[in-house]
Amino acid sequence: MCGISGFLDFKKKSTHANLKKMTDTLVHRGPDDSGYFFETSPEAHIGLGHRRLSIIDLSSHGSQPMAFENLVMVYNGEIYNFKEIRKELENLNYTFTSSSDTEVALKAFHRWGIRAVDKFNGMFAMAIYDRIKSKLTLIRDRAGVKPLFWYHKNGLFLFGSELKSFHQHPSFEKHLNTDGLALYLQFGYIPQPHTIFCHTHKLRAGHFLEVDLGREHIREEKYWDVFDYYQKRKLKISEADAITETEKILKSACEYRMIADVPVGMFLSGGYDSSLVTALLQKDRTEKLKTFSIGFHEEKYNEAHYAREVATWLGTDHTEYYCTPKDALDIIPLLPEIYDEPFGDSSAIPTTLVSRIARQSVTVSLSADGGDEVFGGYEKYQQALKVNRILSFLPAKNVISASLIDIEPENLGFINKILRFDRRFRKVTQALESSHAGNIQALVSSVFTPKEIRQFLLAGSSSASTAFDDFILLDKQLSVLDRLLAIDYKSYQLDDILVKVDRATMSVSLEGREPLLDHRIIEYVARLDSCLKIKKGNKKYLLKEIVHRYLPKEMMDRPKKGFSVPVFYWFKNELRQFLLHYLDEQKIREAGIFNPLKVARLRDTYLAGSNLNINQIWLLLMFEMWREKWLK
């Protein structure tokens, strides 16, 4: 695991010192070593920088940038099947000087070009400069586990693992992208390819980007898309065979992710996903797997006892830690630095904390993200399915919506108070205007509705395209559930869950690995019938049936809590000063981004006792903290 950065400067103003500053700001991603490549070509100044966290082949032979003939590469991630690819290359007369996956990836690209990526099983973000063809290629893994940003304006092209590296280049322009901000307010994250800055982009997962130095021309192309697998013909297979084959692939995925020359552990929440991965890893191992969990003293949010029960049953070496308001007080001020783009998932707090705890014992930790998005575990899927069924029987839904849309829910009196109708009412009226379930899914997932965004944002914003808009591109014969799963794979999972884990783990130089996002699992489960994902209201049916082979059903069958945080309690008490400081009406007015009266009203309503809009409060707080860190 590493951090990469670099530039192509067609005006030839960038220097080796610029490259070093950009790269070294990513030292948390790679504290073990650094390397820099800088040269002047007829077209541009070229810089590639690398910070190394040594995981495989700890010797200097695995250092980067790595060169072979006409190619120079910097690379962040792991290719888990590198030993098999190495054997294939050796049969083609390639020789190796290291035991690293980096050298394998570089020589695979030399042999097969961009099609080498089809052979990779792993997580990766890489930049490869071809000195003969005068071409830079950026590549990002299929699931988007590893981040990669790029910027292009006025003859300057930048790339990097995190946006903070761009701030170290003197020609980077920090212009707020109001479209990106509107997306943040809607979802709590900024979906690919958008970012919070103008002229700055996320390279899409499953894509590569080529820059032709001769023409300063940029081309982005897809090499893998989850949609393709959902739209393939469904497998004709029995339930028993589907369970057996899925379990087989899961075992292989877990074993691949144990390959390392450093200690490896596991984040264990006690839920189905992490318990299954832990069970697969611990089974047939004599050495106890190190597992880590976070608990809360607020019982409503606490699952630590479940994790402890699973760890005891499986026989792991378990560590648990209870997150306190003091811990949150320590971590919250660091979030704008860790997440250098506005990020609204409050579970970043315990994720950062558990990463700190794990890093004291291991250098790599597996996580079990993706189980809900791949196997159908969220309640919102059932909600969306219900709403979609209802709307299909409402031919006059636009008329109904028009009659409701301007009614303020607080005017519904006691109904609003008893049923917490405020948020639901707004979302239902918006959903009635929607033309397809993709829009409904976006609204179910929204924090601020489009109408609210218009009320809060002083500057206008246009409607930016997201994965939710791709819903209509999917085959209408595909089940609504499969379409929703495919959309979440390319949105919430990618730009919320994976961003949260990558930045939290990397902030303490811990490599996070995701066995449930092995592309073989994604491709196989996508082709299974929807009834194996949600069966008679039983969410994540297929995965649960596998779990029951390793853990008692009575231990696991309990209500899903999710990795949520008691910010509602904390901000009424110990953390109250954060709200009063950052959401101060005068501060908001001076910044000129949000309507100060709207923000003040929202804040005061919350402090007066309402918890209906705590997620909106959190998003505004995180943005204001980010703004003070990165825009001032």
Residues 6+ apart with CB under 8 A from 258: 264, 281, 366
Give CA separation, 392 vs 203, 230, 252, 544, in Å: 36, 23, 42, 31
Collapsing DSSP to helix, strand or coil, 430 comes out as helix
Quick one: tokens of 233? 């013909």
Quick one: tokens of 400? 């109904």
Is residue 502 marked as binding? no
Cα distance between residue 601 and residue 611, in whole Å: 13
Cα distance between residue 475 and residue 325, in whole Å: 48
Cα distance between residue 349 and residue 621, in whole Å: 14
| Contact between 11 and 157 (Cβ < 8 Å) | no
Residues 6+ apart with CB under 8 A from 411: none
Amino acid identity, residue 117?
V
Region class of 546: left (phi > 0), else alpha (psi between -120 and 50), else beta: alpha
Rounded to 5°, the CA angle 555-373-561 comes to 40
Cα distance between residue 427 and residue 182, in whole Å: 17
Q: Is the peptide bond before 566 cis (omega within 30 degrees of 0)?
A: no
Residues 6+ apart with CB under 8 A from 108: 85, 89, 116, 119, 120
Residues 6+ apart with CB under 8 A from 325: 570, 573, 574, 575
- Mark whether 2 is an active-site residue: yes
CA neighbor of 291 nearest in space, from 258, 264, 268: 268
Q: β-strands 264-267, 364-366: how paired?
A: parallel
Is residue 294 marked as binding? yes
Strand spans (E) along 44-89: 45-52, 66-68, 71-79
Number of Cβ atoms within 10 Å of the Cβ of 248: 12
DSSP letters, 197-265, are BTTEEEPPTTEEEEEETTTTEEEEEES--HHHHHTSPPP---HHHHHHHHHHHHHHHHHHTT--SS-EE
Q: Check residue 93 and report its DSSP letter.
A: T
> Phi and psi at residue 291, in whole multiples of 5°?
-120, 155
Q: Is the peptide bond before 65 cis (omega within 30 degrees of 0)?
A: yes
Q: Which of 2, 198, 254, 531 is catalytic?
A: 2
Cα distance between residue 156 and residue 152, in whole Å: 6
Number of Cβ atoms within 10 Å of the Cβ of 6: 29
Handedness of CA 140, 143, 145, 147 (dihedral sign): positive
Cα distance between residue 613 and residue 456, in whole Å: 14
CA neighbor of 290 nearest in space, from 320, 270, 261: 320
Binding residues for L-glutamine: 101
Binding site members: 101, 294
Binding-site positions for ATP: 294
Catalytic residues: 2
